Chain A
């Protein structure tokens, strides 16, 4: 059995989650601090989560396709973005980012504002506040965000097949491999991948539940001494 879909899926999901982690947290910080137009910005960032993946794929083709300005620019450097592994990563980033953003934002907003104000009046720089206070105190939410966006990236199908295609050994992930197998009437292969995906997803959800329970047992103190 060709294991390349598993490896490509994992590679894509890991790469996408790494990118999503930084962008999602940055966006969360950015939106939490916004004074105006917070709602609009939030809606724009969340949109890929609720849009059909084909719509996301269509937009990505518009942006990166051969006829686009960016596509033309990339062609000058002999980079063909569409139907590449990188395209699969970008598709996964776009659809999984809202999950990271939303969970991180929720975690940041739960931190007692007074703690941040106190740090500021005590002379702590914004940079230090972010790394030593915001991140550590939001770590449960951020962990949950990582897991959610990883699973979302791992299961991505619609946008991926539109911009990255379904090229075995290059862009064929587990999800697209199941689609191909079903199309070719190869139920045995489809079954194999289905089982792998189900076991994998189940394990991840269990892991998250464990974390949530762990959190409940060691309730993070985020407020007063009452």
Chain B
């Protein structure tokens, strides 16, 4: 099941220009709110119409502006999971599923029964959607999509409106469903953790444009672009310029850093994660600086320490320290004088 998308659409503040393909995997579109992720899904589903381009699913043209093809959503066989699940409020669970099944009564009955069993909805098949929990609604929505024989799943920020406990439960259910589902899925989210747990590959989207597509491991190790760096949760970012092949000047921090892997050609910024620090005794090791503490913020399971290299006046660096380690430092059992920044 291959999905090919290459579309353009003028939006309010920018032009949506997305090109990607996905085949039998869970591909995430990771981007900040309002970057055009959901719009991309809506174009694929036929809810919105792109200005130009092509959308091809499983060898069938869903949209092709040059040949004037624009299939109605009914003929696209695309399963769209809405954030609020969009169950039909005037129908029971079984009716919700039966309503979208094509075919005669006997076939309908069979497919409904199949999906009710598959998603363990037996005890709620006669309930109306408003009586169901979020997890149950999600399962019904999936059952309905599979009963309609969708060829691909489009998941539009399914957890973003939920509190963290419920979100975790629903995510577990989603993970299970996706593991059993062997087709392709597109998952739209702005949450890096969610994306990492649920997806195989990640497309980073910024202002309507897909900046990079890579496996999730590659992306989190080396995000390549500024948007990717921010979206993967990197807290320390500074403008930077190359000094030589292995040294850069991170201007906003007033630091010169050694890059073991070599300085990339189109360098504009440097960034590293808040837990890439290690205590050091002296300045001998690479990228080790004398630091002074500017501010300490307590998090539930760690301390967030804002530090600055001694003698500089630049932007502070965020250091995410384990509580045990920080308590040792404050108790005077070890000293915070030097910090090494572990770069790869």
Chain A neighbourhood of B132, CB < 8 A: 225
Contact partner of A222 (CB less than 8 A), chosen from B82, B89, B150, is: B89
Q: Are A114 and B89 in contact (CB under 8 A)?
A: no
* Contact of B33 with A by CB under 8 A: no
* Contact of A117 with B by CB under 8 A: yes
Q: Quick one: CB contact mask for B135-150 with A, threshold 8 Å, 1 for yes? A: 0110000001100101
* Contact of B129 with A by CB under 8 A: yes
Contact partner of B88 (CB less than 8 A), chosen from A115, A117, A225, A226, is: A115
Q: Are B80 and A118 in contact (CB under 8 A)?
A: yes
Q: Are B72 and A225 in contact (CB under 8 A)?
A: no
* Contact of B99 with A by CB under 8 A: yes
The docked-state distance in angstroms from the alpha carbon of A119 to that of B162 is: 24
Knowing A121-B47, A124-B99, the reply to whether A115 touches B74 (Cβ < 8 A) is no
* Contact of A37 with B by CB under 8 A: no
Q: Which of B42, B85, B134, B150 gathers the greatest number of chain A CB atoms within 10 Å?
A: B85
The docked-state distance in angstroms from the alpha carbon of A188 to that of B45 is: 68
Contact partner of B84 (CB less than 8 A), chosen from A136, A220, A223, is: A223
* Contact of B73 with A by CB under 8 A: yes
Q: Which of A124, A128, A224 gathers the greatest number of chain B CB atoms within 10 Å?
A: A224
Q: Are A118 and B46 in contact (CB under 8 A)?
A: no
* Contact of B60 with A by CB under 8 A: no
Knowing A121-B46, A124-B100, the reply to whether A226 touches B134 (Cβ < 8 A) is yes
Q: Are B144 and A122 in contact (CB under 8 A)?
A: yes
Q: Are B74 and A125 in contact (CB under 8 A)?
A: yes
* Contact of A137 with B by CB under 8 A: yes
Q: Are A122 and B85 in contact (CB under 8 A)?
A: no
Chain A neighbourhood of B150, CB < 8 A: 121-122
Q: Are B148 and A120 in contact (CB under 8 A)?
A: no
Count of A interface residues, CB-CB < 8 Å: 24
- 207-224 of chain B: CB within 8 A of chain A: none
Chain A neighbourhood of B85, CB < 8 A: 224-225
Contact partner of A224 (CB less than 8 A), chosen from B45, B72, B80, B84, is: B84
* Contact of A10 with B by CB under 8 A: no
The docked-state distance in angstroms from the alpha carbon of A133 to that of B95 is: 12
Knowing A120-B73, A121-B79, A123-B74, the reply to whether A225 touches B89 (Cβ < 8 A) is no
Q: Are B84 and A120 in contact (CB under 8 A)?
A: no
Please, which residue of chain A has its CB at the minimum distance from the CB of B136? A225
Q: Are A117 and B84 in contact (CB under 8 A)?
A: no
Q: Are A133 and B88 in contact (CB under 8 A)?
A: yes
Q: Are A122 and B47 in contact (CB under 8 A)?
A: no
* Contact of A77 with B by CB under 8 A: no
Q: Are B82 and A221 in contact (CB under 8 A)?
A: no
Q: Are A115 and B100 in contact (CB under 8 A)?
A: no
Contact partner of B90 (CB less than 8 A), chosen from A121, A122, A133, is: A133
The docked-state distance in angstroms from the alpha carbon of A136 to that of B72 is: 24
Q: Are A120 and B86 in contact (CB under 8 A)?
A: no
- 26-44 of chain B: CB within 8 A of chain A: 42
Contact partner of B130 (CB less than 8 A), chosen from A122, A124, A128, A221, is: A221
Q: Are B76 and A121 in contact (CB under 8 A)?
A: yes
Q: Quick one: CB contact mask for B144-186 with A, threshold 8 Å, 1 for yes? A: 1100101000000000011000000000000000000000000
Please, which residue of chain B has its CB at the minimum distance from the CB of A225? B137
In the complex, what's the smallest C-beta–C-beta distance from A135 to chain B, in angstroms? 9
Chain A neighbourhood of B73, CB < 8 A: 117, 120-121
* Contact of A109 with B by CB under 8 A: no
* Contact of B78 with A by CB under 8 A: yes
Q: Are A122 and B148 in contact (CB under 8 A)?
A: yes
The docked-state distance in angstroms from the alpha carbon of A122 to that of B142 is: 11
Q: Are B80 and A121 in contact (CB under 8 A)?
A: yes
- 65-88 of chain A: CB within 8 A of chain B: none
Knowing A115-B88, A120-B73, A124-B100, the reply to whether A225 touches B83 (Cβ < 8 A) is no
The docked-state distance in angstroms from the alpha carbon of A221 to that of B89 is: 6
Chain A neighbourhood of B99, CB < 8 A: 119, 124, 128, 132
* Contact of A112 with B by CB under 8 A: yes
- Can you list 8 contacts pairing A with B, beta carbon distance less than 8 Å? A112-B84, A114-B86, A117-B47, A117-B73, A117-B82, A124-B74, A136-B90, A221-B130
Across the A-B interface, the 7 shortest Cβ-Cβ residue pairs: A224-B84, A221-B130, A118-B86, A114-B86, A225-B137, A120-B73, A122-B100
Question: A residues bordering B, Cβ < 8 Å?
Answer: 112, 114-115, 117-125, 128, 132-133, 136-137, 220-226
Question: B residues bordering A, Cβ < 8 Å?
Answer: 42, 45-47, 72-80, 82-90, 99-100, 102, 128-130, 132-134, 136-137, 144-145, 148, 150, 161-162
Known: A121-B46, A123-B75, A222-B89. 5 other contacts (CB 8 A): A117-B45, A121-B45, A121-B79, A137-B89, A226-B161
